[in-house]
Structure 1
């Protein structure tokens, strides 16, 4: 095995997936079925990890390659993996991990004030069976952006709000309220009736499955509606600051999950975040089923 070694001082693309259980599940970019995977022990800080207390500079590339096969998986999508190798470090590896990723992060770290985690090592291993002819390895700081996101969502959803819609009143905006907005609604019952009207339109025009149950809003909490990396800022200590609350308001808890499901940018972030949220399968399916009523029949 031949390795080419390139030392970097940059930050990683963070992939962590807090999971109470080992879990395999399908996801579908376009028509391709890809398996994603995680292991619960990778997020358990009471565990002892292979390189705890070890100076990363003393670890050979060959040992890191071995850890790429044996360490606990924080997150895997397709052939790319991020593994927990110590309490402070992760290893990202796979045939799509190229030197350009680490070099880009090195450039950002050196030339800007953008907060990116540090990359401690980047190297490639020849593999003629892979598309680019190599498998790449990056050793990086372990970050907990997904954990912080989960805590933010949990706190938001822990506060019941007696009203429905934007705080202080006004029309509702966001993915599930048409391009023109909707409301204002005087009560949760009015909002529920509006959604059931949209569902009826979709069923009447065969644009939604007939077995979709009617909406039944039982609880309203503060929902951001646009949780995404583009709306997150890391402070100097690595804490997440969530910005752009333009679409925030009092909505059923499932709206937060459904908004992330319908967000097509940042697929890895979306997948990881969805795994640390309550599922609300029925409610998400309801919201997905009214797309026709929100777009073509937006004014109906």
Structure 2
């Protein structure tokens, strides 16, 4: 398919603005609208060119005998800044929740094929080297957290949102992986971290995927503690922007400045420790004795 002309794009926008009920194919969040027997459009204020490029590259690199990825045809913005990705229609069904062990083991094989929500939602967070990525995560760690060392980790294509809702099971039994908004070339550890963080959200899916996939190296596993602590800090604390003195939710310019607030941090909610495998500190007493430092336990 050649890129649509402006008039065709206007027709796409109109089709998405007032779709027929039978043409709304998405069950989750962002709108996915069927515009022909062979094409759908994903549209919304947070649909970006980066997602379009991620999916285009994944379609070219990933072995289609293992997992299918919809071909993308076009990306454009409307006057309100909404993004539109025109892509191939993949016929099949979403199975959510997914509890079948053999099916989940097949999903785990996709993690190998993809080799190559850890970040806040921001448009300018772009890393030009592994060192800058490592530096950014370490800037989200406090003095009592372990440092992250990514220098021995290979960069591979990661999806970072593998979940039942993002898998289409086609009629011939093959898998199709959709929603490449979070994808990129990252250490393979990142894909594991997303499954650890989301463990239990999709029933037994996350734990069974982790049991079925090829294990991480010893060095990669040694970084789990730092990654999960950084993720916990990102969820709870604002960080100072390099350009502005006001706290912001993690701009890509904030690498070199320390986070707020100053040490020691308030105690984490209990559920964070259960999720990240961290050991909870002793809460401050009424006598003013400071709590012990947080320590993550692998």
Instruction: Name the TM-score, length of structure 1 as normaliser.
Output: 0.42
Which gives a bigger RCO, structure 1 or 2 (Cα 8 Å, sep 6+)? 1
Higher strand residue share = 1
TM-score when normalising by structure 2: 0.42
